[in-house]
Structure 1
Amino acid sequence: MKFKIVPVTHYQQNCSIIWCEETLQAAVVDPGGDVDTILAEVEKLGVELSKIILTHGHMDHIGGTAELSKRKGLTIEGPHKEDSFWLYALDQQAQMMGFQPVESFEPSRWLNHGDSVQVGNQQLDVLHCPGHTPGHVVLFDSKSKTAFVGDVLFSGSIGRTDFPKGDYNQLVDSIRTRLWPLGDDVQFVPGHGPMSNFGHERKTNPFVADSRFG
């Protein structure tokens, strides 16, 4: 699995184009907006889009979904159904976060813990990691040891939990019980900011470092 990060919107959200090297089939993870920018990058890469995958329902991650899906005839997979209330509140989200209103949509498939998502010949494992939002999922490619973690974990920080249905303890538990077991050598693409790896965060992240938990 190869990937290219494309920061989008005034939130500089890390949208990712991921693709299978064997088939050149591709997916867009979290198209928050700037659809023309995303499609220009897809054309440069020479890959063929087949689907959109969403980690969670916040506007800066899903704002371009309906437009991109409609323009390219793409299916939409994710997030977990517990985030459906965020998808149904797109108008309010747009006002709250300073986005132009966007069209609402329904995913082709809600994702559950233990599911997998196919991109060409490559498979991503789905981990339900609630806390930032109740329906947040993480996508893990075991071959390349790469995780697309949305707003669960950042380099040196974790996701906010002061939004509706956020839960700090649940988020920390998701990180420690669902992400750390994947291995210290796993690199991750966060929803914002630079990449890191789980081993580094276990040593240095002030919110979830092992030293905090004895």
Structure 2
Amino acid sequence: MPFQHRTLPVTAFQQNCSLVWDDTTKQAALIDPGGDIDVLLGAVKQLGLTLEQIWLTHAHIDHAGATGTLARTLGLPIIGPHEGDQFWIDALPQQSQMFGFPPAEAFTPTRWLHDGDTVRIGQCELQVRHCPGHTPGHVVFYEPTTKHAFVGDVLFAGSIGRTDFPQGDFDTLVDSITSRLWPLGDDVRFTPGHGPQSSFGQERRSNPFVGGT
């Protein structure tokens, strides 16, 4: 399979940044570079990749904190999230102070994403699903050849994302999961924003928040 990925936990929140790449062309993207830039660039170098893009599921500090600095210093485009998260992007400097993170830069994404869009790295194309609820602009990336999804803070092994942040909504989040993720298939495995991987089938069977839906 040309599509490859590696999970790189970053920040004190142990957020799962994902390094994704086309193994044929060695072109790569980082999904949710929340911090620890040296760790991220070290992995890119170790694997012999060329980092070309930043993809964001949403704009909370632990997912987007290093984005502005990386984009500015390396000249990278920022792809995503949906424009519903603009207010979170604008608040990144305040978020970094509040949670004791290194100073974070606000930014304007090169491209906003919408449900049904696609993103591409090398010859690998991923589908975009808009999945609001945790944040209004949250998106999910799905790679169909490996049946793997990068779901940010929408869904976790045994749990779902928090909905008590500004513009979060529990019913909206449950609807995003059941209407945008479950139709992709029970055999889809996913990397969440925190914690271990799981599959949609496993969560449909046993997740206390969306099991049986």
In structure 2, how many angstroms separate the alpha carbons of the residues matched to 1:11 and 1:183? 29
Question: How many Å separate the matches in 2 of 1:166 and 1:25?
Answer: 34
Indicate whether 1:139 and 2:144 are aligned: no
Cα distance between partner residues in 1 of 2:7 and 2:73: 21
Whole-Å Cα distance in 1 between the matches of residues 47 and 117 of structure 2? Answer: 28
- Amino acid corresponding to residue 44 of structure 2 in structure 1: V
Question: What is the distance in 1 between the residues matched to 2:104 and 2:65?
Answer: 7
Deviation at 1:95? 2.5
Q: Structure 1 residue 22: deviation in Å? A: 1.6
Please report how far the alpha carbon of residue 162 of structure 1 lies from its aligned counterpart in structure 2 after TM superposition: 0.2
Aligned to 2:59: 57
| Partner SS state of residue 200, structure 1 | helix
5 Å-filtered alignment, 1:9-88, equals: 9-88=11-90
Report the Cα offset of residue 101 of structure 1.
Answer: 2.0
2:168 paired residue number: 166
TM-score by length of 1: 0.97
CA deviations over 1:51-70 (Å, ceiling 9, x no partner): 00000010000001111112
Count of residue pairs brought into register by the alignment: 211
TM-score (normalised: structure 2): 0.97
Structure 1 CA distance for aligned equivalents of residues 138 and 171 of structure 2: 15
Q: Distance in 1 between matches of 2:11 and 2:92?
A: 16
Give the whole-Å Cα distance in 2 for the aligned partners of 1:46 and 1:80.
Answer: 31
Deviations 1:42-100 (A, max 9, x none): 01111111100000010000001111112221110000000000001112211222213
Shift of residue 104 of structure 1?
1.5
* Bigger mean CA offset, 150-159 vs 89-98: 89-98
1:3-48 per-position Cα deviation (integer Å, ceiling 9, x unaligned)? 0000000000000100011211100000000001100000111111
Report the 3-state secondary structure (helix = DSSP H, G, I; strand = E; otherwise coil) of the residue aligned with 1:50: strand
Percent identity of equivalent pairs: 59
Q: Does 1:194 pair with 2:196?
A: yes
Q: Which residue in 2 is equivalent to 1:206? A: 208
Pairing 1:114-153 to 2, within 5 Å after superposition: 114-153=116-155
- Partners of 1:161 and 1:74 lie apart in 2 by 31
Q: Secondary structure of 1:42's match?
A: helix
Pairing of 1:104-123 with structure 2 (within 5 A): 104-123=106-125
Cα displacement string for residues 96-126 of structure 1 (whole angstroms, at most 9, x for unaligned residues): 2221322221110000111000100000100
- Structure 2 distance, partners of 1:70, 1:90, is 15
Unaligned runs of 5+ in 2: none
Q: Distance in 1 between matches of 2:186 and 2:30?
A: 26
Structure 1 segments unaligned to the other structure (5+ residues): none
Query: 1:7 aligned to 2:9?
Result: yes
